[in-house]
Amino acid sequence: MPAEDYLLPGAADLDLAEPLAHFAEHGYARLGSVLSDVGAKELGDRVDQLMMGEIVYPGLFFQKDTETGNYDDLEYKKGYQGPSLNYRKIEKMEKDPLFLAWIENPLFERIARAVYQGEIAIYRALIFNKARSGGTVLPYHQDGGIYWGLDRDPVLQIWTALDDTPLESGCVEILPGSHHKGFATPLGGLIPKDITAARGGDEGTVFLPARRGESILIHNQVWHRSGVNRTGLPRRAFTVCYISTETRCLRKKRAPRSFVRVFDHGLTADAWSDPSSRPSPG
């Protein structure tokens, strides 16, 4: 099946009023099942091929998972370490044509243009993998802040389950509405334990188990986390962070990053908010 056909019938024209309102208020929103079973299988198979070294794209970023499940035991800057299904992250997935097609599917385009009201690029596109009966606890964190080195903070990422993701597999967990208070620290990233405790610890956490093919909108500043995988089955998910093309990288020690532009059809945000205004595929 061509990657452009991975969307389930009717998904491109999903009514976005309710999910976008829920996203704005709570910091997340379920889209329901939007990726076909065939698409989920092909994308999942591609993840395994990349981890096993059967397909290679120069410039992909890999991070191996821990054997302990402890976030503090993660190792950095080692990259690809040989064939293994125990990689925690693979970044720059836009280099793969199947994943690029999913990044640019018309439903996600409508959402990104509605949120940013302009032209769109991506900050990052990555796989989060928790191996069979493994993975690492990812504590509460926020995706942005000074550490990301941008002149404006992204607000939209879309997460898609490539496998069934029940509670026991380390599903996404959210603290609804936490994005309204901004970043817990200017740096962003992991939220210090004392701040988590001061806001009530686990109180109010919402678990988001998902079936294969479901997508969820996640606000970058909403507190989110995940646990380890205890199912004995794969737990692979893909997430893409969309940004405005006006976003600029502020880093100075190296050349500023440039960002891959997507959905470059020359249409306005208003046109893409109305499904009847979109061109037919072909």
Q: What is the pTM of this model?
A: 0.91
Mean pLDDT of the 38-56 span: 98
The yes-or-no verdict on residue 70 having pLDDT over 90 is: no
Query: Considering the chain, what percentage of its residues have pLDDT values greater than 90?
Result: 80
Report the C-alpha gap between 42 and 46 in whole angstroms: 6
Mean pLDDT of the 62-72 span: 90
- At 201 the pLDDT is 74
Query: Could you write out the DSSP letters of every residue in 172-228?
Result: EEEETTGGGG--SSTT-EEPPHHHHHHTTTTTT-EEE-B-TTEEEEE-TTSEEEE--
Domains and CATH numbers, the chain: 3-66+83-274 (2.60.120.620)
**Per the structure block, which two tokens stand in for 186?**
């200017």
The yes-or-no verdict on residue 190 having pLDDT over 80 is: yes
Q: What is the pLDDT of residues 82-117, one digit of tens each?
A: 999 999 999 999 999 999 999 999 999 999 999 999
Say if residue 39 is exposed, middle or buried (CB neighbours under 10 Å; 0-12, 13-18, 19+): buried
Mean pLDDT of the chain: 91
Q: What is the pLDDT of residues 196-227, one digit of tens each?
A: 888 877 889 999 999 999 999 999 999 999 99
Pairing relation of β-strands 260-262 and 214-218? unpaired
User: pLDDT confidence of 279, banded at 50, 70, 90?
Assistant: very low
Query: Considering the chain, what percentage of its residues have pLDDT values greater than 70?
Result: 92
